[in-house]
Structure 1
Amino acid sequence: MILTELSSVPSGSLPLALLKEHLRLGTGFSSGAEQDDLLEAYLRAAISAVEGRTGLVLLEKSFNWALTAWRHYDRQVLPVRPVQSVDTLTLVDRAGGETVMPPETYHLERDSQNPALVAVGLALAVIPDGGSAEISFTAGYGPVWSDVPPDLARAVLLLAAEFYEHRASREGASLPTAILSLLERFRKVRLLGGA
């Protein structure tokens, strides 16, 4: 199974002004492009850390997920959440030939813990021997920072500030307790072995 991020979050969607305000940077100090680049890098690192810890996608991005077998014949739980749409389902044979499945044969089951691609009939399309299925989908709370739940947004700002303020001594450090507390309720609940 290979999950590929097809798009990245545009710089304009990042809360750079909020981070500057949080850090209480002076106007002359925070106006330089070099400083903005550094702050953006720490914001992106903080977002990645929060997404990795929770399995959530904060800002809307496109993904492609290639897999060689369905976990269940009639549904496949998607690897990240929240999922906004399933854009295409493509079957790829051993020789690389592609067959795009009609959207009427599947649908997205929205779920806060386990969003899934679900068959409309009895089963999802059969994956060819030696081939794969590629699911293209869009995940994230939305395209702008205000779409992100407040506790997750606060955790990102706190972590970005932590990265910024301790940039010379962050090797091997774990997430601070305050940030872990904010993230705890967003961690994925695993029941029945993640089924």
Structure 2
Amino acid sequence: MMLTEETPVPSLALPVEEMKHHLRMGSGFAEDGLQDGLIETHLRAALAAIEGRIGKMLFQRRFLWVLEGWRDEEQALPVAPVSSVVSVTLADAAGGEVVVPAGAFRLVKDLHRPRLAGRGGALPAIPGEGVAKVVFEAGFGPAWTDIPVDLRQAVLLLAGEYYEHRHDDGAQAAGLPFGVVALIERWRTVRILGGGRK
């Protein structure tokens, strides 16, 4: 299985100005824009770390998921929350592709474990030695304010840690800071049976 992000988070969506206030940068220093690239890098790193820890995509974007077989009659999707399944394509070993009609599948929405299900039956069979390519939209929304407030605060805290320790000599303890862990704990997805339904 392979998950690929097809549409990255646009730079304009990132809370660079809010991050400057969080860091308490002086007014002249905060307005000159010299730190914007560095701040954006730390924000992206914090987003990636938190998304990886909780299995939720914060900003909405498009993903391509390629897998060799369905786990069950309903296939759990690898991340949440999923707002829509754009397409399902079946590819055979020779590279031939067939787009599955939209009426043959449906999205079972769930904040923690969204699933792809067949409509009126099982999901369409994946050809032998072939793959299924599932394109879907995942994330809380396209804007920073669409993200729940506790997750936004966790991103700012973690990006602030990265910024403050950008010249780290290795003495800093590994792992996420306690404040970040406390904020994201309720959002964590417990993985059981490798993505099965129960």
Question: TM-score band (shorter)?
Answer: over 0.9
Consecutive unaligned residues in structure 1, runs of 5 or more? none
Task: State the partner residue of 2:146.
Answer: 147
| Distance in structure 2 (CA, Å) of the matches to 1:24 and 1:66 | 43
Structure 1 length normalisation: TM-score? 0.95
Give 1:193 deviation, angstroms.
5.8
Runs of 4+ displaced beyond 6 Å: none
Task: State the partner residue of 2:180.
Answer: 179
Percent identity, please. 49
Is contact 2:76-2:195 (8 Å) kept?
Answer: no
Structural mapping, 1:113-152, within 5 Å = 113-152=112-151
Q: Say if 1:194 and 1:127 are closer, same or farther in 2 by CA, change over 3 A.
A: closer
Q: Say if 1:170 and 1:178 are closer, same or farther in 2 by CA, change over 3 A.
A: farther
| Distance in structure 2 (CA, Å) of the matches to 1:170 and 1:17 | 28
Is contact 1:152-1:183 (8 Å) kept?
Answer: yes
| Distance in structure 2 (CA, Å) of the matches to 1:69 and 1:24 | 50
Write the letter of the residue equivalent to 1:99.
V
Aligned residues: 194
Task: State the partner residue of 1:67.
Answer: 67
Consecutive unaligned residues in structure 2, runs of 5 or more? none
Give 1:28 deviation, angstroms.
1.6
Q: Say if 1:134 and 1:194 are closer, same or farther in 2 by CA, change over 3 A.
A: closer
Structure 2 length normalisation: TM-score? 0.94
| Distance in structure 2 (CA, Å) of the matches to 1:144 and 1:122 | 36
29-38 or 19-28, larger mean C-alpha shift: 29-38
| Distance in structure 2 (CA, Å) of the matches to 1:64 and 1:34 | 35
RMSD: 1.4
| Distance in structure 2 (CA, Å) of the matches to 1:170 and 1:119 | 53
